Structure 1
């Protein structure tokens, strides 16, 4: 009888778990710590980053700056984040994924804090631009760390669910904005909001103690030390990797160009040309944020189920459809409120598979450099889309301009995805 009981228990322990979260139950405690550390880090990154969007009206009223001045702060942040993302990728190959993640979190938290101490527009612009280096770098370091720490069959789900932390951080920033501005006068509240941005630095204390370098990276560094040979970050431009690097950069450019084209100018178009008022409400923002989170989660599961390339193309086509509906079909406030959900779902969800895919495209020696370069080239070029749309819309209807740029961006993504190799289930090697 004891033998039979032992046999049954052994079968139960070896039998794989089932259900949506079976992968999480099957990973090791160390992998779980890495998962939550990366997810929380990404949420805190989003929280600090999104503060600016909520305080812009107060800054315009308090300091008398123009919308163009406020917009330039956002553009400067995006451009420095692109540079920071690539630098963080190179650093993660040199000093380690975990150490780079710690550095980027402290960096963006510190400069967000300095934003709250700014005494004029120029000081705020400089502090926010410097904050961008950490904001961009945290994504790269976290995505590489999580991509290497998790097993191949669950990589898409794990990395995608980590990136879903962005929507949680966005929601936290909205709640903190509502709380702080209900307690303090606006001219003081905006500063308090930025000062709260220092809190993520405390998280680094836990990160240092709980998270270790991925085994595949540790093995690579040991082998590198034994051979006394180091791979340069420029290897991503070598004949062996150049075409992968360029095509992956096109993929990320399409995703981010389409996202910025839709999210930057749609509110203006719908307010000025359609006369809709729901866009400025908390209900609409909540619909977009909830849609974003569920889009990340759904895409994370689909990228492991149907493959990286098919998932990208599916979400790109759906994002194009959403842009067409918004700009070409007359809608009222009620319909627009409902459409906030699919807008967030598809435009944000497309990014869930990005970290896993870029992790699998590059070898361990230059994985951070490759991922940092490709994702952040896409961010830098995508950041130009709002400016280009504004310029072209002077001679072309704004709705039509948004549709053309969004369709073009997602078309580039689809073409790049078709030419890149499918990497689902790929085992990483040191």
Structure 2
């Protein structure tokens, strides 16, 4: 299968220069696509974090143990595998933009529904359905932007899209702090879920202003086997699919363990108030935002695989330092939040470009949607394991298990090629 240029990257033949050359190189259409994907992923993050931030209040309201609260995250991430796979197929068959609107609408509707849950069982169902949209948005948005980006700048461009996760996380923490400061916890967690209606505004923007990359859309339409699971498990792509899924499992197992349990860890074992928790998370999120941007730069400079190995090692070290810090050293804990957020986010920056470059245009959505979200689903069992073990080990002790995921990610890279500089095919 030959490799060809996948889309129009610039409106003229001049080579953009400067710190924002990657953004200029997208051209007007590409920049609008970038805005849609960035907004979609930021609000995806916002809607996801309504659960971890409200988890202590939800647990008290429904009288849940740690295993039950961990299951809420696990079911979201497991069902996200189904959502990601379906969204990938839709992206290959009906286009990236239309699939993006479907995923955003889905996760917004069911996040709001979570706020109306009368019991734990209903909340589990609504959270699972939220996972359908949550699972598909990133893969679809990343592919949309990747097909506008040049090979030279693709890592930085997709790293900037990834940074939207930190922006959405920060917004969620701000809203959480305000809502829980002024409302009783029994109603505050519901209001937090109801604010998940915000993405509806983004759908209007995407529908009016964003289009698929024309050349990539034409190439996809002319290809046979669009959106085919049999293709990504065929002899040409089977090895790629297996190892990309293992890579995603390791990185996301480590990440979601921390994302799920750090707010609970800060409140229950470090004794922080709502305001105090927000302050500590601010350091974590600031590090995450800069980590995404730095990782995007490095993935273009040193390669996709080296960037992942570097930050897998540093993330493991940071997790152990953060979770095993002796009691009474909350000042140092505050400082350690920055490198923890930086490292565990920088490792993600290459994912959008790496997975996009591993698959041909006709099945790029299917391949990226399946591998990223299947990995997330398998890795999701780690937060539940932490929940069950935390009753005997403590939340901090169980959180150290997150380092195991990063080791798996490094092993998975053995079966994948380096793709830096590769044109989409």
Give me the TM-score of the superposition, normalised by structure 1.
Answer: 0.87
Q: Could you list the per-position Cα deviations for residues 405-427 of structure 1 after superposition, in whole angstroms to 9, with x for gaps in the alignment? A: 44432222122224311111111
Q: Could you list the per-position Cα deviations for residues 160-214 of structure 1 after superposition, in whole angstroms to 9, with x for gaps in the alignment? A: 1111101111111111122333444433333332222122112111101111112
TM-fit CA distance, 1:269: 7.1
Contact 1:250 1:412 in 2 (8 A): yes
Structure 2 distance, partners of 1:85, 1:222, is 21
Structure 2 distance, partners of 1:150, 1:375, is 20
**1:327/1:67 CA distance change after superposition, 3 Å:** closer
* Selected match of 1:312 from 308, 312, 318: 308
Structure 1 distance, partners of 2:395, 2:123, is 31
Q: Which has the higher contact order (CA 8 A, sep 6+)?
A: 2
User: 1:413 maps to what in 2?
Assistant: 409
* Worse-superposed segment, 291-300 or 81-90: 81-90
Contact 1:102 1:204 in 2 (8 A): yes
Structure 2 distance, partners of 1:401, 1:42, is 29
* Worse-superposed segment, 63-72 or 98-107: 63-72
Structure 2 distance, partners of 1:400, 1:73, is 21
Structure 1 distance, partners of 2:391, 2:117, is 35
User: 2:135 maps to what in 1?
Assistant: 136
What is the 5 A alignment of 1:134-173? 134-173=133-172
* Selected match of 1:255 from 251, 256, 276: 251
User: 1:287 maps to what in 2?
Assistant: 283
Contact 2:263 2:277 in 1 (8 A): no
**1:415/1:74 CA distance change after superposition, 3 Å:** closer
Specify every segment of 5 or more residues in structure 2 that has no aligned partner in the other structure, as ranges.
1-11
Q: Could you list the per-position Cα deviations for residues 321-374 of structure 1 after superposition, in whole angstroms to 9, with x for gaps in the alignment? A: 213323556471111110000111111221111011000000111111111111
Contact 1:252 1:413 in 2 (8 A): yes
Contact 1:277 1:333 in 2 (8 A): no
User: 2:350 maps to what in 1?
Assistant: 353
Q: Could you list the per-position Cα deviations for residues 30-70 of structure 1 after superposition, in whole angstroms to 9, with x for gaps in the alignment? A: 11101111001101111111112222233334444444433
**1:58/1:258 CA distance change after superposition, 3 Å:** closer
* Selected match of 1:384 from 381, 386, 389: 381
Q: Could you list the per-position Cα deviations for residues 291-325 of structure 1 after superposition, in whole angstroms to 9, with x for gaps in the alignment? A: 11111111011111111111111111111221332
User: SS at the partner of 2:153?
Assistant: helix
TM-fit CA distance, 1:264: 4.8
Contact 1:288 1:340 in 2 (8 A): yes
Structure 2 distance, partners of 1:153, 1:33, is 20
**1:395/1:57 CA distance change after superposition, 3 Å:** closer
RMSD: 2.6
**1:60/1:416 CA distance change after superposition, 3 Å:** closer
TM-fit CA distance, 1:159: 1.0
User: 1:209 maps to what in 2?
Assistant: 208
* Worse-superposed segment, 195-204 or 88-97: 195-204
User: SS at the partner of 1:240?
Assistant: coil
1:239 aligns to 2:231 (yes or no): no
User: 1:116 maps to what in 2?
Assistant: 115
Structure 1 distance, partners of 2:393, 2:62, is 33
Specify every segment of 5 or more residues in structure 1 that has no aligned partner in the other structure, as ranges.
1-12
**1:15/1:322 CA distance change after superposition, 3 Å:** same
User: 2:363 maps to what in 1?
Assistant: 366
User: 1:323 maps to what in 2?
Assistant: 319
Give me the TM-score of the superposition, normalised by structure 2.
Answer: 0.88
Larger Rg: 1
Moved over 6 A (4+): 266-272, 392-401
**1:220/1:122 CA distance change after superposition, 3 Å:** same
Contact 1:216 1:428 in 2 (8 A): no
Structure 2 distance, partners of 1:15, 1:188, is 56
TM-fit CA distance, 1:27: 2.9
Structure 2 distance, partners of 1:257, 1:367, is 23
Contact 2:155 2:353 in 1 (8 A): yes
Structure 1 distance, partners of 2:109, 2:50, is 14
